[in-house]
Amino acid sequence: MAGVLTLRTVVALASQSTFIYFLQPVLTDLLIGTAFLVSALTMRPVVARLAGDFYPLTAELHARPGIRRLFRRLTLLWAVALLSKAVVVFVLLQTQPLATFVLAKGIVVPVTNITCIGLTVLVATTVARHEGLLPKRGAILPAWPSATSRATH
């Protein structure tokens, strides 16, 4: 991370342009988003490759249709998010004064990332429960006492 930031700074200083400094992450999001999008068309989308870092996956799990759909859909979610973020930040960079751009980018980027992380966890957990990889919600949480059972005690 420090190396990337240093490289960005060196390139911006060499060009003497704040525009170039802020354009570099836009290009990175564009490149990574495109890679996600293209990989969604393959047998092993990017999320399928990364999933093993978060959950132990066997070949049998990778072969399940529900898991394959999950990986493809999450790959598409992240592709759309990254590409959308690149477009929005680029438009802001083109149209807003620097102070406004920095403030807006400081809101757009974390909100987009947090939303995608939340959706990823929610959807993956739902599919994992459906596939029997996690216990059903009722199996973990005790049943809430109903009004009638409290009245009889």
Q: List the chain domain ranges.
A: 19-140
Query: Quick one: CA dihedral 107, 112, 117, 123, positive or negative?
Result: positive
Q: Which of 138, 119, 132 is nearest to 76 (CA)?
A: 119
Query: How many CB atoms lie under 10 A from the CB of residue 135?
Result: 11
Cα dihedral 46, 51, 56, 59 in deg (nearest 10): -30
The CA distance from 108 to 4, in Å, is: 21
pLDDT of residue 144: 64
Give the span between the Cα atoms of 22 and 101, in whole angstroms.
10
Residue 150: predicted pLDDT: 57
Distance CA(71)–CA(76), nearest Å, equals: 9
* pLDDT class of 143 with cuts at 50, 70, 90: low
Side chain identity at residue 109, one-letter code: V
Q: Is the pLDDT of residue 140 over 70?
A: no
Instruction: Report whether pLDDT(127) > 70.
Output: yes
Q: Structure pTM? A: 0.80
Amino acid at 80: V
Looking at residue 64, what DSSP letter applies?
-
Ramachandran class of 36: left when φ > 0, alpha when ψ lies in -120 to 50, beta otherwise: alpha
Residues 54-94 pLDDT 10s = 878 888 988 899 999 999 999 999 999 999 999 999 999 99
Q: Which two tokens stand for residue 149?
A: 């059972």
